Amino acid sequence: MRDLLPYIACFFAFFSTGFLIVATWTDCWMVNADDSLEVSTKCRGLWWECVTNAFDGIRTCDEYDSILAEHPLKLVVTRALMITADILAGFGFLTLLLGLDCVKFLPDEPYIKVRICFVAGTTLLIAGTPGIIGSVWYAVDVYVERSTLILHNLFLGIQYKFGWSCWLGMAGSLGCFLAGAILTCCLYLFKGVGPGRNYSYSLRKAYSVAGVSMTKSYSAARTETAKMYAVDTRV
C-alpha cells in the first residue's frame, strides 16, 4: 500500500496543477446569471472579458487595462494568489516526479526519495492555501454583490454569478490539499510497512553479522597471541 501512495498523490497533483493553471488563465470567473436581461453570454476572468452572442455564437474578448492600471482589490489579490498557487503546485508536482520509484533518480537512496516526496507534499499543501483563498474569496464577493443588489431591489439589467473557472480553482486547491496529505500524513502512517522496512532491517542485520564476525576474528587472534606468549615464557 505504501508504494502506491506516491503514485496516487502524483495523479491528484497532476490534475490539480492543471486545474489551477486553467482556472487562472480562463475568462469565466464571473458569468451573467440566468435572470439577466441579456441576449448574450458575458464572462469575466482575471485578465479579460468575453461576450458570446446567443444567436450566431460569435465570441469577442476585450483585455483589461495594463497590470499597472487601477483595478478592483478583488481582481488584484485573486491574480496574485492564483499565480502563487500555480508556481507552488507546479514545483511540488515536478519535485514529486523525482521522488517516484519509477524515475531513475537516486535509485540507491530510498530514504532520500521518501524525503523528496515529503517536501513535495508540503509544497502542495502550501500551494492549496492561496488557491482556495483566492477562488473562495472571489466567489463569495460575487455572491455578496449579487445578493446586495437583490436585497435593495436594484436591477441593473445584468447580474453575475461565479462561473466554472472559479469552480476549477476550488477543485485544484482541494486536489493539492489531498495530494499533500497523502504524501505527508499517509506516508508517515505507513512508514513501518512495506519493503522500506525490510530494507532497513536487512541493512541492520548485515551490519550486525559483520560486527559479530569481526569480534570473533579479533578474539581468536588475541587467543592465539596469548598462547604463543605463554609458550615463549615457559621456554
Residues 159 and 186 in one domain: yes
Residues 132 and 33 in one domain: yes
Residues 142 and 156 in one domain: yes
CA–CA separation, 163 and 160 (whole Å): 9
**pLDDT tens per residue, range 138-180:** 888 888 877 777 776 666 656 778 888 999 999 999 999 999 9
Residues 212 and 100 in one domain: no
Residues 108 and 63 in one domain: yes
pLDDT score for 214: 44
Burial class (CB in 10 A: 0-12, 13-18, 19+), 168: buried
Residues 211 and 97 in one domain: no
pLDDT score for 213: 47
**pLDDT tens per residue, range 180-221:** 999 988 766 655 544 444 434 333 443 344 444 444 444 544
Domain count, the chain: 2
Assess whether pLDDT exceeds 90 at residue 84: yes
pLDDT score for 172: 96
| CATH code for position 177 | 1.20.140.150
Q: Is the pTM of this model over 0.85?
A: no
What is the CA angle 93-98-104, rounded to 5? 150
Q: Which domain holds residue 218?
A: 195-235
